[in-house]
Amino acid sequence: MKAISFMLFILVVACFGRGQETKDGDVPDDGFVPTREVAIKIAVTIWEPIYGAEKIAGEKPYRATLADGVWTVEGSLPEGRRRKGGVALAMILKKDGRILRVIHGK
């Protein structure tokens, strides 16, 4: 009787566990990058070591737009002033946070 109860318990646990496990792991419904604020934080974290924290801070405010599941985050040129160079740009997949592209205009 104990053996049958134990086998039944193992079967229930195995079935219950399978229903919760996903192929992609624990992906939140809104993805790992659910908001523009999160997308901007990720972009700045990537840009600073590449282009320098001072240069990136000078490109505030940052803009983030979402299209087809991809966040595009860009820096801004200072208003009323022209300067050489462009701005940083990052493209980040909303679902898993994968970095698709990082560039800086010239």
Do the beta carbons of residue 46 and residue 102 sit within 8 Å?
yes
Q: Mean pLDDT for each consecutive 10-residue tract of the chain (106 residues)?
A: 51 49 74 97 98 96 97 88 79 97 93
DSSP state letters, 18-69:
HHH--TT-S--TT-S--SHHHHHHHHHHHHHHHH-HHHHHTTPSPEEEEETT
Do the beta carbons of residue 96 and residue 32 sit within 8 Å?
yes
Delimit the domains of the chain by residue range.
30-104
> Residue 35 to residues 20, 27, 74, 87, 104: CA-CA distances in angstroms?
25, 15, 15, 21, 23
pLDDT at 79: 73
